[in-house]
Amino acid sequence: MPPKNRGVSFNHAMVYVRRIEPALRFYRDLLGFRLIETFEWQGRPVYARLRAPRGEGTIALHLPERGDNPNTGSGIRLYFEVRDLQRLCARLMEAGVKFSQMPKRMPWGWTHAYLRDPDGYELSLYWAGARRFRKTRM
């Protein structure tokens, strides 16, 4: 195992989207991510990088190359830990966001809410607190 200061550090997740603007409205305006940068190519926005409201996590929203059709909406689930989960979910519902599951305590002790972003990717908004780095016991 590499020493702690020489190991791999997670940088960001790249999320391929159909259009940048709706994804930006969702992640920036509804979830509170802070916009770091955007990039335009040939007069249209093709990339945006955002930082989570807490911590150092970032996501990148990216249009696929012309002709590419990434499998948006399937294959991944993004997890965002939120201390005040109930309040955020209520605010999102007021903004018209639909949930497939409202906050619910799961058998492993974390509380999860599930929803989809504008491109169909499943998101889990959850609160685990101190349990996040502990082995699950059921």
Residue that is written with structure tokens 């020493």 in the block: 3
Q: Tell me the domains of the chain and their CATH numbers.
A: 10-65 (3.10.180.10), 76-138 (3.30.720.110)
Check pLDDT > 90 for residue 39.
yes
- Which residues are CB-neighbours of 18 under 8 A, at least 6 positions away? 63, 72, 118, 119
pLDDT in tens, 98-127: 999 999 999 888 999 999 999 999 999 999
Global confidence as pTM: 0.84
- Structure-token match 């550090």, residue found: 9
SS3 97: coil
pLDDT of residue 10: 76
Q: Rounded to a whole number, what is the distance in angstroms from the first to the last CA of the chain?
A: 29
List the beta bridge partners of residue 22.
none
Mean pLDDT for 82-108 is 95
Q: How far is CA 108 from the centre of its chain?
A: 21
Please name the residues in contact with 84: beta carbons below 8 A apart, sequence gap of 6 or more: none
